[in-house]
Amino acid sequence: MVEKAYKFIFYPTLESENLLLRIFDNYSLL
């Protein structure tokens, strides 16, 4: 839940980095 909140809060400021965060999440799943 912390990760989701982190993204939700930083989403408006890091719109471009949000893609990188998603990629990192995919790697975390692996």
- Confidence (pTM): 0.33
pLDDT in tens, the chain (30 residues): 567 766 666 666 656 677 778 888 877 776
Looking at residue 30, its amino acid is L
d(Cα 30, Cα 15) in Å, to the nearest integer?
24
CA distance 29 to 4: 15
Strands (E), the chain: none
Q: What local confidence, expressed as pLDDT, does residue 13 receive?
A: 61
The pLDDT assigned to 3 comes to 72
